[in-house]
Chain A
Amino acid sequence: MQNRRDFLNKLCRGTILTGLAATTGILVFRSAKSGHCEIGSSCGNCLKSDSCTLTAAVLFRQTVWQLDPTKCIQCGRCAKNCVMTPSAVKVVHVYAMCGYCDLCGGYLKPDTKTISTAAENQLCPTSALKRKFVEDPFYQYTIDEALCIGCAKCVKGCDAFGNGSLQLQVRHDRCKNCNECSIARDCPSDAYSRVPANKPYLLQGIESSSDKNNT
């Protein structure tokens, strides 16, 4: 009786172990080489590519959340849904794309009588977008990240009236990288996706230098 029980025990244990090993094998094999290169043809240690030769390195890749500014409809949920307060999603200014306009579509309310830094003229509810005179007629606009709540008002304005140099992005020094992003779950335009941790930004108009330190 005891021997039978022991045998059954051993059998079940062996079965479960085999199941675990099989699961691990399938997942590791799939994650290592599957699909095509999504990030680009130049190898930036991407996650899964048939042409990837760095199998071991690939397995230790991590992914982080990021939003695609071309899909964003500036609905304001990034400010509300993030588990962190204030939100880990903030506006980023791509200076390379900015027109440095006096009449900034992202800074000023549309019905302003005068163009100045007066609080009643500013779109930003927390006054996080700062304006500074550079030279005639150019003005520099910078974002004070500590104040920005990620509401995307300025993004909408810049997109409509300007070059679209103000973009909403997940900031990785603040984002907790939850297993499931509570903003991603509710994004109406499905703009959130997981991207490789060594290419963690999806900014328009910027060619980010590939990581020099993460090998």
Chain B
Amino acid sequence: MKQKIMIISALVLLLVLVAFMVNDFFFSKPDNTNPYEFELESVRTGDTTMTAYTETRQIKTTLEEIHGLATDALGRIYIAGKDGVEIFDPSGKAENKFKIGGTAQCITVDENGNLFLGMQEHIEIWNDSGKQLSEWNTCGADAVITSIAVLGDDVFVADAGQKVVFRYDKKGNQISKIGLKDPATGVPGFIIPSPYFDLGISKDGNLWIVNPGRHSFEKYTFNGTLLSSWGKASMAMEGFCGCCNPSNFAFLHDSLFVTSEKAIERVKVYNPDGSFRCVVATPDQFEEGTKGLDLAVDKQNRILVLDPVKLLIRVFEQPKK
């Protein structure tokens, strides 16, 4: 009898094992919850109550790659990219298009209507009918030109590779270097981990340069004296996140800053004193991983955003109250 009990109980154990195997193999479901979940979606969408702009129009470009966006005093829109420049009239109608020999990373237009193109390590100057006027090769072979600003006879060139801003005259002579680290005068030096380095000239004639590694905007005189700076590193709406942001900026008519970032693709507006004002576009309006949202402001104070992934110029306006 004892023998039988032993056999039966051992057999039962064996059958339990087989049942366990069958159940585990055919009927178990892998867990879809992640106890270590890092919720990023809310960070990407952000607080939509702060959005004060809506997208009103999109302008399609026919270029293969686009990197630079600019407007002129008449409100015309210029797009520069791989092997070409496209010009649109203020209503968005295509006006002109011409070929250039190479890829332009940035573009700006002076008061005479001449186009200054940053071509990786040198600068080319063209007129708007597609004729090259001159070429400046004095930045150095390691230069990565990411932004140009022009006022009067001064041309400022931002070089992300050598982490410095060059000052040129209109003839192409290099006058000085701005922004080199100098503890004596309090210039901290530019920290540029990735090739996004923007600058602009404000209405009051000062040179504003983004220091992306420090997430700040620095105000310089044309001679290179640091006057002030603002900027905060934070992943919240009010600050700039990641290792190097903002990637681009532009000035609105009343000296407001409009900034764009990468990683969390946002376009925001700041007051002239650096305090946060409102949001123009949130990350869900862009493809994930979009970089290089170049900005420009047109005659009607509308914000133009260059979307290099969708190959569009996106126009944002504040809704009329």
Contact = CB atoms under 8 A, between A and B. Distances in A.
A162 B242 contact: yes
Interface in B72-104: none
Interface in A67-102: 74-77, 79-80, 99-102
A183 B72 CA distance: 58
Interface string B210-242: 000111000000000000000001111000011
Given A102-B233, A105-B263, A137-B214, A161 B241 contact: yes
A11 interface: no
B64 interface: no
Nearest to B262: A161
Interface string A94-115: 0000011111010010111001
Nearest to A101: B243
B233 A161 contact: no
A156 B243 contact: no
A152 B36 contact: yes
A54 interface: no
Which of B191, B236, B243 has most chain A Cβ within 10 Å? B243
**A contact patch SS:** loop
B233 A115 contact: yes
B40 A156 contact: yes
B36 A163 contact: no
A161 B264 contact: yes
Contact of A103 (B34, B36, B37, B242): B242
Contacts of A102: 233
Which of A74, A111, A156, A160 has most chain B Cβ within 10 Å? A160
Contacts of A186: 30
B254 interface: no
Given A76-B34, A105-B241, 18 more contacts: A77-B34, A80-B35, A99-B193, A99-B194, A101-B213, A101-B242, A101-B243, A103-B215, A103-B235, A103-B243, A110-B241, A112-B234, A136-B188, A137-B214, A153-B36, A157-B40, A161-B243, A162-B243
A181 interface: no
A191 interface: no
4 tightest A-B CB contacts, nearest first: A99-B243, A151-B36, A76-B34, A101-B243
A75 B34 contact: yes
Given A80-B31, A160-B263, A161-B263, A103 B233 contact: yes
Contacts of A101: 193, 213, 242-244
Interface magnitude class on chain B = 20 to 34
A113 B242 CA distance: 15
A80 B33 CA distance: 11
A24 B304 CA distance: 68
Interface in A132-166: 136-137, 151-153, 156-157, 160-163
A115 B236 CA distance: 13
Contacts of A110: 40, 43, 235-236, 241
Interface residues of A, number: 31
Contacts of A103: 215, 233-235, 241-243
Interface of A: 74-77, 79-80, 99-103, 105, 108, 110-112, 115, 123, 125, 136-137, 151-153, 156-157, 160-163, 186
A153 B244 CA distance: 21
A206 B241 CA distance: 26
Contacts of A105: 235, 241-243, 263
B294 to A, nearest CB: 21
Given A103-B241, A161-B241, A76 B36 contact: yes
Given A99-B243, A101-B243, A137-B213, A157 B236 contact: no
A112 B194 CA distance: 24
A203 B234 CA distance: 29
A186 B181 CA distance: 52
Contacts of A161: 235, 241-243, 263-264
B184 to A, nearest CB: 16
B135 to A, nearest CB: 34
Contacts of B43: 110, 160
Interface string B183-195: 0000010010110
B263 A162 contact: yes
Nearest to B241: A161
Contacts of B233: 102-103, 115
Contacts of B26: none
A51 to B, nearest CB: 37
Contacts of A153: 36, 38
